[in-house]
Amino acid sequence: MNRLHPRIRIIWSAQAAISAVVVALLVLAVDRFAFDLPAWVPPAVFVVFLVGGVGLALARYRVWRYEVREDALYLERGVFTRVQTVVPFVRIQHVDSSRGPLERIAGLASTVVYTAGSRGADVTVPGLTPAGADDLRERLKRLAIRAEGEDAV
């Protein structure tokens, strides 16, 4: 099974820090307009959310795995609830590589696999190098075409 690039921990930790700031600002706003909380509450909320979010990001990295096998893409992830996903190549509609702002800063990319099925039937493999995301995209595309025919992807 393949692991994600270690820099994904930075992205997930940065997202946790942003969330911690937003929650702390909301607590500060509620304190100013509705309650008279002690001055230490907003910073404490920030620290709790930051530590919890960064801990969750590190745990997420430890359990995230993917593998391209001969018949399907296999994914394992989840900290509290383990999720194992199998994406058969015959179900793949198309495959994209993407790089969001934080991913570009960290030098990472994601591969998004869109499948036939209901809404939200797509899976994302985050934390890849840009070349790795492109390679995975091309490999999945070739395997999907071979599994279904020329119009699969």
Which pLDDT value is given to residue 32? 83
Question: For residue 83, is it within any domain?
Answer: yes
**Same domain, yes or no: 88 and 118:** yes
CA distance 118 to 67: 23
Give me the CATH number covering residue 123. Answer: 2.30.29.30
Which pLDDT value is given to residue 118? 63
**Same domain, yes or no: 52 and 123:** no
Which pLDDT value is given to residue 152? 44
**Same domain, yes or no: 99 and 137:** yes
Which pLDDT value is given to residue 65? 96
Question: For residue 107, is it within any domain?
Answer: yes
**Same domain, yes or no: 75 and 125:** yes
Which pLDDT value is given to residue 108? 97
User: Over the chain (153 residues), what is each successive 10-residue block's mean pLDDT?
Assistant: 95 96 93 84 95 97 95 95 92 92 94 81 92 95 81 47
Which pLDDT value is given to residue 100? 92
**Same domain, yes or no: 81 and 49:** no
Domain that holds residue 35: 8-62
**Same domain, yes or no: 140 and 76:** yes
Contact 65, 8 (CB under 8 A): no
**Domain tally, the chain:** 2
Which pLDDT value is given to residue 148? 73
CA distance 27 to 9: 27
**Same domain, yes or no: 82 and 131:** yes
